[in-house]
Amino acid sequence: MPSPDPADIKAAVDSALAEDLGQGDITTNAVIPEGTRLKLVLTTRQDIVLAGLPVTIEVFRRLAPDATITMEATDGDTLTAGAVIARLEGPAAALLSAERTALNFLQTLSGIATLTSTYVERIDGTGAVLLDTRKTLPGLRALSKYASRTGGATNHRMRLDDGVLIKDNHIAVAGSAGEATRRAKAAGLENIEVECDTIEQVKEAIAAGADSLLLDNMPPEMLVQTVELVGGAVPLEASGGVNLATIRAIAETGVDYISVGAITQSAPAVDIGLDLEI
């Protein structure tokens, strides 16, 4: 699993530390004597798929560059409750000041990877591929998509400039799915995906030369009908209203992809602790 881009890590850590530290950790500076050192252990308190270690370690390195960090797990590992992720030894004040920011990243990103892996398990054997979306916390797009990829999803569009997706509002303004598709092609765009809510829109988009279709909020029976109608001519992506209870039935309709915004938009943070090692 490739690590996140260093530039994305730097940007995220810069912002997070500025947000959390302000003018400094006044509590730690008052309570912890200068020169105090300690040993800490980073442990998961629930079953997880681990994600976010590179950015978490960067937080500790920023504030405690001389700390010793011993890794006992790596991103992508499936860990059970009680598993040790890492051990840290170094200046007490710096490590304690970094604690919350580091845990915020690791808990959030591991939460995304953990939920993603559950969705991937639900569609195992169907041939459908899980996609993430642009529904991410502002400023954490790259790291969130790294976490979903760690959990087994495939990244869809990172930004508005790296893929064409004609959505319902584009279609409403253009007048029809066919007309919106024709305009995109006339502009020289390639790999055009068109969102379709109805079978009629599917027919229009295909006739106009769409390269793939996003089938939005279609019930399974309509998805089956669309799969049969298209006959493999273009890839089909199902989206809208997808959850853990419905995704298996959607996958079994024969669609190629299923996109789920929840894996990056509303994954619950997992419980990971940083405790004094005794």
Query: What residues act catalytically?
Result: 100, 135, 167, 195, 216
- Cα distances (Å, whole numbers) of residue 239 to 25, 87, 191, 220, 247: 45, 41, 18, 11, 10
Query: What DSSP character marks residue 2?
Result: P
Residues 6+ apart with CB under 8 A from 259: 130, 131, 132, 133, 156, 214, 237, 238, 239, 242
In angstroms, the Cα distances linking 201 to 16, 102, 183, 241, 243 are: 44, 47, 15, 19, 25
How long a stretch of residues is the chain?
A: 278
> Pseudo-torsion of CA 91, 95, 97, 98, nearest 10°?
150
